[in-house]
Structure 1
């Protein structure tokens, strides 16, 4: 049974949760003009890597990427899956800690941070315990309930734009390519699509439909950066940690019964991110169980990972600690998002040649 619709929704929501949070600040800090160029470079790389991954796994109709690597030897398995495990583990730590901070600022200013992190990890752990089917069904329900609200908020965010801020359209140079802020932005470019290799063939889907869904992400990438810039200007926006959140907070609509749309916007983003955190927990559990500890119970591994992530988050004292962890994660991120799709693609090509011999 083709489950492309459900997989596409999960792919869409997990990326939206990453794009609308820290991504705008990273792009805005990387260049002062022509923001669409660094955005589209990243988007193009995303589609290239996504295509390579989908093409590669299509040559192994009965294997996920863990099984693919395992059949090629322990060395190859370690080279690619060890960095993948570390990357996803660090990503979950970063997002639990970072999103807890923003929830504390906007929603629960009097609630201790440890309690917010405990709540996020508990919900994510519960979803992960339900397995990939439970995560996919939850994403479909969340899409129906929250994605229309998010679309409305993004349209309403144009309320205060000044189109003169769009100029100049072209940067004077491409120095942004080497800036740390731009390199950090690739957590939204390659942070989520790798799950497609983990759910194949557990959840059947067609790669072509995933690529079409990816087109929906292009305007979201652009709007997440340009709406704040067009609202406040480059000079002001560059000082914001959460530019799109500040833009939503400036929306004033007298004909709706709610004073602040920011609450609904952040609620949607946090829930989308909970899906991502639970999905990563599920992938981490599969790597451990299939490569290191086959006899372990999935539930115990997921609970153990959740407790470990929570304890590390407690150890991070402030936002500077989050930024430092983000910086450490940048190098390994590129190793994973480039290495895994490219290696799977070439293994797929080799598999096809072997079948044709």
Structure 2
């Protein structure tokens, strides 16, 4: 695994969350100066990422779990990791269901929802079973295949922009801090958690990671401002998939791009498969190492996928997931902010061993 491959996966995992929930929630959390809210989110991630990578740099060849085990012991590590397991489990359920709804709405209208969901989770099961190393190596090929469609669907909307929709450009009250939707957006931070689960001697430098995060920041701005500049705040706030609706406004005469939203959904669905697979691998690794060491990892993976599939069938509609989104934001904040801080403190105060 090269550093380029790891950083590519880092970018793709962020994009998966950005195109799933980010534009809708940012537009809902504030009606002016959206770039301020986005900048605040990424400023926090820059600081947390610095702490996370600094902690890992002190222990070459060890993962974040190894650092916690060395400082907190087995029971302390279990207590620290348990909220993150809850976060990953709920996030998997939300990502799978949201993506299944999007695929069914655009690509497979006549296919029953259980069949679409089964196909999606089967792909994720296979990828997670192959392991993180395979997914990291596949990230280069996926980026070459997907990024042109994503960038094209964003840039082609320029012809429908109305520059006046960008105003007011400054949020004078910063009311987004009081909006639950703003904290839902912290789910994009989960794209860096896997960096601490790779026991590698060649750690990613913060400078390289910050460049990758800068690329994600630009794409996050684009995902919010493209639908804003096409529809305006009053209209865009009512859309569940603002970027998808923005791409649907383009009328191209070329046969291959006759229906641009289908290309966008294929690209975003592939990114979702990648992120769900990585989160599945992470969940299985944590459960197998800390809670179920006597059960094979493949059986844990099969049990988790089966449970997620059955629970997804019981969800009535997308609106029912809003409650879980807001609930999961608490576990998300702990996982993407609290856990890296704990790893940083554990790396500074290793437990003394008595011979």
TM-score category of the 2 structures, normalised to the smaller one: over 0.9
Partner of 2:212: 213
Aligned-pair distance for 1:203?
A: 7.5
1:322 is matched with 321
Aligned-pair CA distance for 1:87: 0.5
SS in 2 for 1:295: coil
Deviations 1:282-321 (A, max 9, x none): 1111111111222322211111111111111111111122
Superposed, 1:58-207 pairs within 5 Å as 58-72=57-71, 73-188=73-188, 190-201=189-200, 205-207=204-206
Contact 1:4 / 1:206 at 8 angstroms: preserved in 2?
no
TM-score (norm 1): 0.94
The residue aligned with 1:231 is: 230
Give the Cα separation in 2 of the matches to 1:273 and 1:264.
Answer: 14
| Residue aligned with 2:138, SS | helix
Aligned residue number for residue 36 of structure 2: 37
**Is the 8 Å Cα contact of residues 3 and 205 (structure 1) preserved in structure 2?**
no
TM-score (norm 2): 0.94
Which whole-Å CA distance do the structure 2 matches of 1:204 and 1:193 have between them? 13
Query: Which 10-residue stretch deviates more, 95-104 or 255-264?
Result: 255-264
Match of 2:306 in 1: 307
Give secondary structure in 1 for the equivalent of 2:125.
Answer: helix
Please state whether the residue corresponding to 1:141 is helix, strand or coil: helix
57-66 or 278-287: bigger deviation: 57-66
Secondary structure of 2:192's match? coil
Point out where structure 1 has 5 or more consecutive residues left out of the alignment. Answer: none
Distance 1:233 1:292 in 2: 49
Deviation, 1:254, is 2.3
Q: Secondary structure at the match of 1:20?
A: helix
Decide whether the 8 Å contact of 1:66 with 1:290 is kept in 2: no
Q: Offset of 1:204 from its aligned partner?
A: 5.3
Tell whether the 8 Å contact from 1:128 to 1:281 is kept in structure 2 after alignment. yes
Distance in 1 (CA, whole Å) between partners of 2:108 and 2:202 is 37
SS in 1 for 2:238: coil
Q: In 1, distance between residues paired with 2:221 and 2:277?
A: 27
CA–CA distance in structure 1, aligned partners of residues 349 and 200 of structure 2: 20
Gapped regions of structure 2 (runs ≥ 5): none
Q: Find the residue that maps to 2:66 and give its secondary structure.
A: helix
Tell me the SS of whatever aligns to 1:194.
Answer: helix
User: Retained in 2: the 8 A contact 1:3–1:204?
Assistant: no
Q: Is the 8 A contact 1:8 1:213 kept in 2?
A: yes
Q: How many residues align?
A: 351
User: Secondary structure, in 3 states, of the residue corresponding to 2:20?
Assistant: coil
Taking the TM superposition and a 5 Å limit, the aligned residue runs for 1:1-12 are: 3-12=2-11
Task: Report if the CA contact (8 A) 1:55-1:348 is conserved.
Answer: no
The 3-state SS of whatever aligns with 2:191 is coil
Question: Is the Cα contact below 8 Å between 2:74 and 2:290 reproduced in 1?
Answer: no
Deviations 1:114-161 (A, max 9, x none): 111111110000000101111112222111211122222221122200
Tell me, in whole angstroms, the C-alpha distance in 2 between the residues paired with 1:301 and 1:80. Answer: 21
Q: Tell me, in whole angstroms, the C-alpha distance in 2 between the residues paired with 1:197 and 1:301.
A: 21
Q: Work out the CA distance in 1 between the residues paired with 2:207 and 2:340.
A: 16
Deviations 1:148-181 (A, max 9, x none): 2222222112220001111111123012101111
